[in-house]
Structure 1
Amino acid sequence: MIIWFDLLMMVVLFFMGLCFYRSNGKGANLLSGYNMKTKEERSRFDEPQMCRIYGRKMMQMAIPFFFGAVIDLILPGRGCLLAWIVFAVLFVRLLRLRGKMEK
């Protein structure tokens, strides 16, 4: 059961990242807080580049869930926990990168 959850999270994150990566900047409106900026503030950002960066990061966040599923084959439940911990670390790193990009 947990293996399927890991695989589902992997697929969802990978395809969301792929959609952002290929959006050519159109996915920027889906980013939290970015859609509330004024047009003047948005003009300072390279939206296609920002979406490519977010897309790559999302696809990278799918990798721990693949390895979590593999670990769950041997030690049920431990791989999922480990995947979520690594995901949380990657997510915090993404938030820090976003803070640097918006300055």
Structure 2
Amino acid sequence: MKISEINLDIAKEYLRQDDDSDDRIIQLMLDSAKSYVVNFTGTTMEQLDEQEDICLAVLLLLAEFYDNRTIAINDKLNLRFNEMLVSLLGRHSINLL
């Protein structure tokens, strides 16, 4: 799967959402997750399309945004999540500063 192929239907399937009540917020969060990944890595969407594991990063971010709707900086679970995400994204990052 490519990052550009992750659409609302795939996002809802990943989040296990069957109804349409949150479609607008899920789409917003999906767009934000993709933007976050592009900005973090310093690459383009087209370059990221070549890296299938990036889809997991987008979906993980989406789930974090949707489930928590806030970021807890001091939470140990969140710290492990952030370390995993940074590790996954770091493999494709050209922003080394």
TM-score (norm: length of structure 1): 0.35
Q: Higher helix share goes to which structure?
A: 1
Between 1 and 2, higher relative CO (CA 8 Å, sep ≥ 6) is seen in 2
Q: Highest Rg: 1 or 2?
A: 1
Normalised by the length of structure 2, the TM-score is 0.36
